[in-house]
Amino acid sequence: MGILSRFADIISANINALLDKAEDPEKMIDEYLRKMTKDLSQVKSETANVMAEETRTKRLLNENQAEIEKYTNLAKKALTSGNEGDAKTFLAKKQQVEEAGVGLQTAYATAHENAVKMRQLHDKLVKDINELNSRRQTIKAKVAIAKTQERISKYSSVGENSENSINKFRDMENKVDHMLDRANAISELNEAPTDEAESLAQKYGSSSLNVSVEEELAAMKKEMGLE
């Protein structure tokens, strides 16, 4: 039967094994879903035809069995009535019907086998499509998580680079502080030594100036009669 040969691989296909080997399971699932959904439409139509053929041959076989039973009963009635000739006529007809029934039995067996295979094919397609839809959602969720983890990893590397930059900045800052401290030390060393005698002279010179002012103030007050 043509439809069975065209879709025989669907029955034997191991969807899980195929997906496990796929480099891009999400893309492969979408491809399989498109193909299998298209196949399902054809399989469903052909399954209905095969099941209808099974029903038709079964009905013809049942009618044949009923006809055999009819002529058997007529032959018995003819014998009961003492009409042996009529009984032979009925039995001859019964044999013709039985011969036809052999062909009908073969046709029904074939139609039934085809119907079983087509129904298995149909049911497997439906099951696989449902499973693929379910796995598609799971895989998409895993892909989203994987992409998020990749982004986190990138940010982690950025954080590490930032930490390295901060450490380098601190090292440079320490070097600058050291340079500044060294420059201040050199500046201090470059200053002229302090002359202690000169410092004392300034001290006493200032004191003399203060005494003169006091004397002048006292003289002014005496002159003005303020004492």
Residues 94/96/98/104 CA torsion (nearest 10 deg): -140
Give just the sign of the alpha carbon dihedral 15, 20, 21, 27. Answer: positive
The pTM score is: 0.50
pLDDT at 170 over 80: no
d(CA 62, CA 59): 5
Cβ-contact 57, 108 below 8 angstroms: yes
Higher-pLDDT residue of 111 and 15 is 111
Q: What percent of the chain has pLDDT over 70?
A: 73
pLDDT at 197: 67
Give the single-character DSSP code of 82.
T
Instruction: Indicate the pLDDT class of residue 211, thresholds 50, 70 and 90.
Output: low
**Position 105 confidence tier, pLDDT thresholds 50, 70, 90:** very high
Q: Report helix, strand or coil for 225.
A: coil
Handedness of CA 203, 204, 205, 207 (dihedral sign): positive
* Torsional class of 82: left (φ above 0), alpha (ψ -120 to 50), beta (otherwise): left
**Phi, psi values for residue 194, rounded to 5°:** -80, 130
Question: Position 186: which residue type?
Answer: I
The pLDDT score that the predictor gives to residue 91 is 94
pLDDT for res 218: 78
- Give the chain's length: 227
Q: What is the torsional sign of CA 94, 97, 103, 109?
A: negative
pLDDT of residue 1: 47
- The per-residue pLDDT for range 144-163, each reduced to its tens digit, is 777 777 777 776 665 566 66
Q: Which of 33-42, 69-78, 189-198, 203-212 has the lowest average pLDDT?
A: 203-212
Which domains does the chain possess?
Answer: 2-158 (1.10.287)
**Chain-wide mean pLDDT for the chain?**
78
